[in-house]
Amino acid sequence: MTSSTTQPFRDGYGVRDGYGVRDGHGVRDGHGVQGPPTRAWVPWSDAWQEALYGEGGFYRSAAGPAGSFATSAQGIPLAGEVLAGAVLTLMRREGLSSFVDFACGRGELVTQMHRLAPDLSCVGVDVVPRPPGLPDQIGWVQSKGGAAVPDDLGVSPGAGGVLVLANEWLDVVPCTVAEIDDHSVARIVLVQPDTGAELLGDPLDDTDLQWCQRYWPPGRMSPGNRIEVGRPRDEAWRALVAAVCRAPERGRALVVAVDYGHTAPTRPAGGTLTGFRDGLQVPPTPDGSSDLTAHVAIDALGTDELVDQRTQLQRLGVRGTLPVHALSRTQPATYLQGLARSGAECALLARGGLGDFVWAIRRLPATGPADAAGPASPAGPAGLVSSGLHG
């Protein structure tokens, strides 16, 4: 799947099959040819964390995410502006005045938000130091990356209502990759970081196995099937919600994660772990040279609402409507601008692409001075509403 640029949407569909061939000993060498080990075998979750967020990891590179893939916020002409406009509409409707862009890359979306609405209090959070050229009015918080959530998201006391948006964050929170062996035992998949070769290791521990039994359908747990155990993503989401709860003297808040994901009826049997490098989807190899991503079990997070991006953006006024053709004769420049914007809107709404991404939404009540005495705990999720989920 490619965008109008040379870069693919990072949709996370796995490309392992066709690159790695499993032999009779449970080894995948990443190229389809059995070979001797060249580095110690480690669980995918550990290798994934180091490859993306360790010293010299992919997300610490100078190019950042924009160098290897397009998202709703960057890499597609005008799409970031359209998304920012929709997010601003949401904030105005909800009466929110502070915006936190969590896992924001190099600040592309938060910069658009500040440009459209200089009155907003805007903060970017990511694993790198403050990017050069970021407007001075935008705050910046450096995180440790992965599942780690800073204690302080940079929301000023008395800042009013807050929207925290985590766009394509949870899919790059490393998690355990498991495979069902020939005896129907779920085993941890080990990997050699420099080659991508794989080997089945120990059975899942009780905590991860319980997560699988709760959230992964038995019909997707046959020999050879893969499971990307979503427990670390659930915990990371709860940590983000808790960090928002701790912000003192704020108005009510929305915490939103936007990602590609699946729900129980659509769990993938073969796994979704894949890589992206230099605008191309590549086999997942945790050597730090590429992005590594896997779909999110979005219904396991604990939210108030799940809604696909197409439906949500349409609620916020994004239509993808073509400009009136008569403008092509009377105001050709305006007509061309309208065509470009329509193309960006259509990309964000497209079925089979960004339009199928899911907005996971959590609503939090306001906090007052009394709440600042100690950290708050996120309340349990309200009754889940699934709106317009496709598939």
**Rounded Cα–Cα distance for residues 140 and 236 (Å):** 20
Whether the Cβ atoms of residue 240 and residue 165 lie closer than 8 Å to each other: no
- Is the model's pLDDT at 380 over the cut of 50? no
The per-residue pLDDT for range 6-28, each reduced to its tens digit, is 344 444 333 333 333 233 334 44
Kindly state the tokens that stand for 391: 């598939």
- Mean pLDDT computed over 356-378: 69
**Rounded Cα–Cα distance for residues 177 and 233 (Å):** 13
The per-residue pLDDT for range 282-338, each reduced to its tens digit, is 999 999 999 999 999 999 999 999 999 999 999 999 987 787 787 878 887 887 877
- Is the model's pLDDT at 36 over the cut of 70? no
- Mean pLDDT computed over 112-139: 96
Q: Which of 11-25, 128-142, 211-225 has the lowest mean pLDDT?
A: 11-25
**Rounded Cα–Cα distance for residues 186 and 224 (Å):** 10
The per-residue pLDDT for range 148-194, each reduced to its tens digit, is 999 999 988 777 899 999 999 999 999 999 999 999 999 999 999 99
Half-sphere CA count of 288, side-chain side, radius 13 A: 9
Half-sphere CA count of 351, side-chain side, radius 13 A: 5
pTM (predicted TM-score) = 0.84
Residue, of 378 and 341, whose pLDDT is higher: 341
What pLDDT was estimated at residue 92? Answer: 96
What pLDDT was estimated at residue 70? Answer: 66
**Rounded Cα–Cα distance for residues 7 and 1 (Å):** 9
Q: State the chain's mean pLDDT as an integer.
A: 84
Whether the Cβ atoms of residue 94 and residue 254 lie closer than 8 Å to each other: yes
**Rounded Cα–Cα distance for residues 20 and 30 (Å):** 4
pLDDT-derived band at 199 (thresholds 50, 70, 90) equals very high
- Is the model's pLDDT at 383 over the cut of 60? no
C-alpha to C-alpha distances, 19 to 119, 135, 189, nearest whole angstrom: 50, 44, 16
Cβ-Cβ contacts under 8 Å for 63 (sequence gap 6 or more): none
- Is the model's pLDDT at 373 over the cut of 70? no
Kindly state the tokens that stand for 122: 């805007």
Percent share of the chain, pLDDT over 90: 63
